[in-house]
Amino acid sequence: MEFQFSRRAERIQEGIFSILDHKKAELLAKGRKVYNFSVGTPDFKPQPHIMQAAAEAAMDPENYKYALSDRDELLSAMQAFYQKRFGVELEKDEIMSLYGSQEGMAHIAIALCDPGDVVLVPNPGYPVFSLGPELVGAKIETYPLYAENNFLPDFSDIPEETAKKARFMIVSYPANPVCSVADDAFYEKLIAFAEKYGIMVLHDNAYSDIIYGGREGKSFLSYPGAKKVGIEFYSLSKSYNMTGLRISFAVGNRAIIHEFQKVRSQIDYGTSLLVQKAAVAALTGPQEAVKEQCREYERRNHALCGGLRSIGWEVPDSQGTMFVWAPLPEKYKNSEQFVLELMEKTGMIVTPGSAFGDLGEGYVRMALVHPVPVIEEAVEKIRESGILD
């Protein structure tokens, strides 16, 4: 029997990721060693006090019931954390938990826009930034990110007619996939732009704790006027290695938070109480491990980028995130073709930049998910392969 599926579903393609997965299986079947730098899953463990909190919570049968709402303990922990970490004061009705920022980005358009409304998203950008609004029939307008402007948007690139129609704008720094960090002047311009045109800002702040070169990871909400125009997503996945527990927060403008909570109350029954307990432990516990983890990511960043430069591939150091955004070697023009050739010759899997929008063509993204010795081994494999010759 043949079924007819939605046009929306037909637009969601596995594409290159499915091809890479099949290629990986082929290499492993041949006994080849594979170096997977494509997926941003941390290889670090959660801190013991977080696992202990989850284990203790798991022994209480009350924690297996519907949560329905965020516990006061969780909201208080997030209030104190944002005040201490970013200097941002939050009221409890300005905070809500999510099943991870990806889920939040996928669903928030239901609350913020109607079919045909314009939404501004970055190009290159993380795919769910476009997918969420597309699923509710919004019109996606991309704003370009160019290397010569440190992958920051130039607001003059956004036509005034588009800006006037835009319902909300998604921004993310430190930025996945382009690995750039925004300065104070950018956020001031962003807030002024949003106020001028009545645009809601959604800032994805998943990587503020993974930032390099002495830069400071800040919150969008720490800038004057930010709370008037938007909200921020803050994730525990990468900072605390809790990717599988699926816990992040939307914080900021209470009107946006209220509408989003209303929508999500019809979709789920609240963040698991087990997960809430683990999140409280992460937010209120010692933070030195987060800083040490950042230092280790920076060592990996230097090992990968510096190592590749030493063998003739000009890759700039990442400014932040757990990724590296690498221009293709000079003789290559197509990122998917290069990725498949790199995989065949070296066993190293990276993500083609074209997966993040047409302006991602000419780049590949690499995840810093291996220790320095493995990175050095992978770099040597590239040198030996002759792919850069």
The per-residue pLDDT for range 327-345, each reduced to its tens digit, is 999 999 999 999 999 999 9
Half-sphere exposure (Cβ direction) of 333: Cα atoms closer than 13 Å: 0
Classify residue 147 as left (phi > 0), alpha (psi -120 to 50) or beta: alpha
Enclosing H/E stretch for 235: strand 230-235
Name the percent of the chain lying above pLDDT 70: 98
Question: How many other β-carbons are positioned within 10 Å of the β-carbon of residue 379?
Answer: 23
Half-sphere exposure (Cβ direction) of 67: Cα atoms closer than 13 Å: 23
pLDDT-derived band at 40 (thresholds 50, 70, 90) equals confident
Asked whether residue 2 is assigned to any structural domain, the reply reads no
216 and 89 part of one domain? yes
**Six-digit token pair at 311?**
């063998």
Query: What's the domain count of the chain?
Result: 2
Average pLDDT over residues 18-38: 87
Tell me the pLDDT of the chain averaged across its residues.
94
**Six-digit token pair at 255?**
């009107």
pLDDT-derived band at 11 (thresholds 50, 70, 90) equals low
CA geometry: angle 343, 348, 350, nearest 5 deg: 85
For residue 8, the model assigns a pLDDT of 75
User: Of 7-11, 150-154, 188-192, where does mean pLDDT reach its minimum?
Assistant: 7-11
Cβ(353)–Cβ(177) under 8 Å?
yes
191 and 338 part of one domain? no
221 and 360 part of one domain? no
Looking at the predicted structure, is the pLDDT value of residue 28 above 80? yes
100 and 148 part of one domain? yes
278 and 358 part of one domain? no
Looking at the predicted structure, is the pLDDT value of residue 178 above 90? yes
Helix axes 254-264, 101-112, angle to 10 degrees: 100
- State how far the Cα of 277 lies from the Cα of 55, in Å rounded to an integer: 10
Looking at the predicted structure, is the pLDDT value of residue 12 above 70? no
Asked whether residue 1 is assigned to any structural domain, the reply reads no
Looking at the predicted structure, is the pLDDT value of residue 24 above 70? yes
Of 252, 284, 316, which residue sits at a domain end?
A: 284
pLDDT-derived band at 9 (thresholds 50, 70, 90) equals confident
In single-letter form, the type of residue at position 37 comes to F
CATH number at residue 119: 3.40.640.10
CATH number at residue 349: 3.90.1150.10
* Domain of residue 280, residue span: 48-284
Of 284, 303, 330, which residue sits at a domain end?
A: 284
109 and 158 part of one domain? yes
Average pLDDT over residues 256-272: 93
52 and 198 part of one domain? yes
Looking at the predicted structure, is the pLDDT value of residue 15 above 70? no
278 and 304 part of one domain? no
